Structure 1
């Protein structure tokens, strides 16, 4: 899914809501189109206001900040779309003949890295809000737990039953894997601790080796 397609899907959903005034609807649609064309960071609230033919103060009155404007449409989209998106992702991954757990991890990492690369700015905004906004975490994390973590646990159980994984609780394995992979995505795409060119294939293999074998020299 590309950035444009994701933003187009968000626009389509905003058209279905009855909670916004015509002016708010125009602001939201204009903002998302400009974000898609120019990038979030390169779009100012004054440009949005001009294109939507409203005063810039109207945007601030309704949304406060540019981040809040984007979040106001992203969050309903996430809630409505996570179940379907999660189903599509796991169906696609499991259709790749993932014969062992290592194959599953590799397919999952490649899938999510591609998605985040294509939707980097949206990912950054959502993660930053989750890090600092307690209410948002309480609101969104149950959706992630029910639709993503639950599915990962089911996959872990499958490979545990085959005798591939160590005999510790599946939710513990899931939590450790999610912490490692989630931390990697956040450090790379949000905190941007390392700005040098990255060999993505090598990064994926290093993550897999670390998850499967750890640090101790065998």
Structure 2
């Protein structure tokens, strides 16, 4: 895998899948989620998708390429350009709070994961165990995700809402706790969804750690 392949797959997502490709994708997601990528053969995917194994190789070349074609568009959708629109709204609204942003973001992304649970499970399991996937996607996170969230944190620090510690430390706290919370629910515990009450518990826990207290003003 290389950056050229990564970019080619990103560009290819704008082309609508054929019925046969969609069957291959659906079968792959289901089998990878149930059995794991390494334990799933292209022959099994072909059987479930009701296509020939040769069709899979013709469409994707290798099983690795097939995996990438599933995960890449999911990554793009998980961190949408909506972040820029939300940023504009917050900047223009002096009454906006980091807690409000965090609540809206969490609920929106949890709803997205709930509707795409199987591919989320595939993504987490394979990112953990496949070094080549980490090398492909970590730069994407750093280029797309980190700068956007950093802007939010810097804005609320300027407003005096968050504790006065380096932004990178706040980022680590947020990603470590929130990602652990979501992964444990949807992957380890295999829950179908996360309740609003659980979301509020997480928000309270996070904000208690990073909110600037009144005594600090």
TM-score (norm 2): 0.69
Quick check: 1:74 aligned with 2:75? Answer: no
Q: Note if contact 1:14-1:73 (Cα within 8 Å) is conserved in structure 2.
A: no
Distance change (3 Å), C-alpha of 1:28 and 1:69: farther
Asked if structure 2 preserves the Cα contact closer than 8 Å seen for 1:93 and 1:108, the reply is: no
Q: 1:30 to 1:175 in 2, by over 3 A?
A: same
Distance in 1 separating the partners of 2:25 and 2:81: 26
Shift, 1:134, TM fit = 1.2
Q: Answer yes or no: is 1:118 the counterpart of 2:115.
A: yes
Q: Select which of 130, 152, 156 maps to 1:159.
A: 156
**Are 1:206 and 2:201 matched, yes or no?**
yes
Structure-1 separation of matches of 2:132 and 2:65: 17
Q: Deviations over 1:44-87 (max 9, x none)?
A: 52121x3x3x247966x9545xxx575131244357x46x9532
Flag structure 1 segments of 5+ consecutive residues without an equivalent.
Answer: 1-9, 18-24
- SS of 1:74 mapped into structure 2: helix
Alpha-carbon RMSD across the aligned residues, in angstroms, is 4.0
The equivalent residue for 1:28 is 21
Matches within 5 A, 1:68-147: 68=64, 70-77=66-73, 81=76, 85-92=79-86, 95=89, 99-147=96-144
Q: Which residue does 1:7 correspond to in 2?
A: none
Which secondary structure state, in structure 2, belongs to the residue aligned with residue 164 of structure 1?
A: coil
Compute the TM-score of the two structures, normalised by the length of structure 1. 0.69
Give me the whole-angstrom Cα distance separating, in 2, the residues matched to 1:140 and 1:38. Answer: 22
Give the CA deviation at 1:141. Answer: 1.0
Distance 2:33 2:180 in 1: 23
- Structure 1 stretches (4+) deviating beyond 6 angstroms? 35-40
Structure 2: distance between partners of 1:139 and 1:157: 28
Residue 63 of structure 1 contacts residue 69 of structure 1 at CA under 8 Å; is this kept in 2? Answer: yes
Equivalent-residue separation in structure 2 for 1:100 and 1:190 (angstroms)? 30
The answer on whether the counterparts of 2:32 and 2:122 sit within 8 Å (CA) in structure 1 is: no
Q: How many residues align?
A: 188
Q: Which structure 2 segments of 5+ residues have no match?
A: 1-9, 36-43
On the 8 A contact 1:93/1:104 being kept in 2, the answer is no
